[in-house]
Structure 1
């Protein structure tokens, strides 16, 4: 891996960047070095949906499948022991990444959605009842909305929704303060929006939100799927009771994610699914359950995927999340600036300095987002179009769909320039 060096990339202000991260690591990502639709060089700007894998992760997956494929925790033979060691090493790596007190606070899940459902179905159904309230925001991904709708329907609890600020389109923290009451049992919020790019105020979350939740006896859950790939997240200072994230957005495989929970909270949660691995003793008429995290990991897990996620954690940790965040602030700011200069473009969300991700969701007056995405694809540029699993947010903004350009650590200023140039060419053609 190429170390960070002084400076080679132009920043939005014309000053040189403090790092050459995007250019320096592109050789680690084989998929980026291809042409599509004949002779168009691929520009991958759909990282909000999933990121690409470096060769270090691909090698970790190959090594497991070719060299020590075996089930974990159950065997004493050489392959089983090696697989178990690598699997649990991945848990340790995730714990270090977010500064958890113990790797026993890390529960492997198939994705962030599964982690959110785990909390909603296990803790939610055990602690919610008629008259209780669950607080979410209008900016939530469906994965942090639908499970709470289901939990409220099952328990008789009420779902309360916090709006956005009118000026910057951020979650309205004053409205959050106003809605909290003794009825509030849990606050479940997105830490970085996958559509707006907005980030919760860290100090407000760590101090004000946690203080308010403690005052009313409520728990706090944060969806960190878009945060952890892009910036440092320290659960010991963040103040949440749970966070979730997914491996495929931090250069890891699909089919693996994690839930972090405070050990005392996890201990109080009943199992969500039953089967092997999550048990202590099984009798014909009843069973006793293993302590966390095993209690929440029934059956054969995604072993290769967990090991691959561990390799991805190594990769981004070696780059340094502070370096990643700094580079993405520069790249995201440049994207915002260039995109804003295109006539007819509306970018949703706050200005770059209030964003936790370099993504930009946008529309162009008179042009459907899907048409934009389709014609940009013809030029080799991969962007997303649709509602990005945030239909209520789109309705709140008065739109049915948007296009989303979401660069990541291996993207460059030159690719942003090409994207905006081709966007202007597409608009000339369509109009």
Structure 2
């Protein structure tokens, strides 16, 4: 495809006007001021539009789309115990497939090109992602508080089988990660065993870290004053490329450990606010040079995948946390949403509008009242834009969403099947 006469946010998130951008196959082949020679297929008129990297959702539980709005105004443990866990006990592969596919449709409409997911029924998740054309880092979450033998656990067997069968599937769009659910849901032997397997297999790790104050303080009580970051580091969890979700209550040396180990922090602003878990100190995370990415968490604890809303929320609450309106600049917020997330997923050639990178791109309609006047386009994208401004989403050079229409997903069927599966589960509760 050839985008012509379009405003862009380049690899440095600097604005370029009246540019030509050409994609060839799954790559960005040309960015320049003059129209390139050759046939690039469809031409897209960029007048009144902005072209930039798509968004990388660094922490989610996509099948939980089935539980959107199911548990509201509850504390986290009550929410989990009375709503989420009973519902999840009745899940089927069919329900997970449709819930994931619906989530991929919503993601594409909000400019999310790739997602990092923790869940189970990973075969069904992978099938939905492959069918959608999106990208995903899928991990089979491991939970073992009772300390069962690691290799005999069904979840571990499922994880290893999925890694063997699915890692690199869908032309590399699907990457299989591992996932220790959290310190508080596993014993030390399990954490060490999973860390060893992950390192030997050369995989990425996903883990929940210090999401709530209770989790954080109880870990210190269990492990002689060690924080979750210190405990997980000692177990080797961070000895491979790791994304640590939440990190709301990290403290002291935690920041230095995360920096030294090259861990990405995936902050989840809206979900953490909704569950009153707290506000991550994203300003300090950035100051320490830690890679920052953004996650939505599940739509059961967020209710939408509106990533532009997530970006704005990150910027605003970071200022409140620091008591300083100068922290978290618009460029830093956008970088977390794009390149920061791609780095967390190990997608080295993604997350930036750059020649040679994968063509994971989105177009925003800027010819709308709330995007004018334009003193600074980056400021407008972070503070003024709406998720509905996204009018095109491309993954690996293929347009998957354009002007409200989906190329790969029958949304009417996805909605119908998701509603049907949800009603079937509720009838059993």
Give me the TM-score of the superposition, normalised by structure 1.
Answer: 0.28
Give me the TM-score of the superposition, normalised by structure 2.
Answer: 0.28
* Bigger Rg over Cα: 1
Query: Which protein has the bigger strand share?
Result: 2
